[in-house]
Structure 1
Amino acid sequence: MNITLSEDALEWFKNEMQIEKGSHVRFFAKYGGSSAVQEGFSLGVSKDEPVEPAAETEMSGIHFFVEESDVWYFDGHDLHVAYDTKLEGPEYEYKKS
């Protein structure tokens, strides 16, 4: 699987989560909510160090990743993160690999 972020989304993470060069951001499955790929689960985000990353990307020295234990959530989809100007936050899109 692949992870891509828009420049606007990157800026949101830097500002809202106080992420800086050398930081790690984890995308993970969390119970509750819903998503386009898993009923009853939604996507969580946290500052975290990778243990067993299955997918990762780096932008401006910031590492974004998904752990092997959370790959099931994506169900064969890549994760595309953009910035939603109406919601003033990240927008997650799942595209089949």
Structure 2
Amino acid sequence: MALIVEQPAANWYKSQMELGQGDHVRIYVRLGGCGSVHPGLSLGVMQDEPREIGVQHTVDGIHYFIEKDNMWYLEEKDLRISFDAANEEIIMTVQ
């Protein structure tokens, strides 16, 4: 399992969340939304300090991570976070 944050997505998060060198961004499972893996659940994003990292990816000194207790959501697959410039939105794909 891997977490891949593409550079355009990292740039968008950095701008929108006012992130700086050394900051941490947690990707977590939340109730609701339209997730592609588990009906009724989706992924959320927030700036937070890690407790027990399951997987992480660092881009431009910013650490994106998923806690161990949320790794079940990926079902042994990878999570790719990209940015759709035409629609100005983040796309999270479990593959």
Which residue of the partner structure matches residue 63 of structure 1?
63
Aligned to 1:34, what secondary structure does the other structure show?
A: coil
Which residue of the partner structure matches residue 89 of structure 2?
89
Which residue of the partner structure matches residue 72 of structure 1?
72
> 1:34 Cα deviation (Å)?
2.3
Unaligned 5+ segments in structure 1 are none
Which residue of the partner structure matches residue 33 of structure 1?
33
Q: Per-residue displacement from partner, 1:27-79 (whole Å, max 9, x unpaired)? A: 00000122111110011000000000000111111000000111111112111
Aligned to 1:39, what secondary structure does the other structure show?
A: coil
Unaligned 5+ segments in structure 2 are none
Tell me how far apart the structure 2 counterparts of residues 87 and 20 of structure 1 sit (CA, whole Å): 25
Which residue of the partner structure matches residue 47 of structure 2?
47
TM-score (norm 2): 0.94
Q: % of aligned pairs identical?
A: 34
TM-score (norm 1): 0.93
Does structure 1 residue 10 correspond to structure 2 residue 10?
yes
Q: Would you identify which runs of 4 or more consecutive aligned residues in structure 1 move more than 2 Å?
A: none
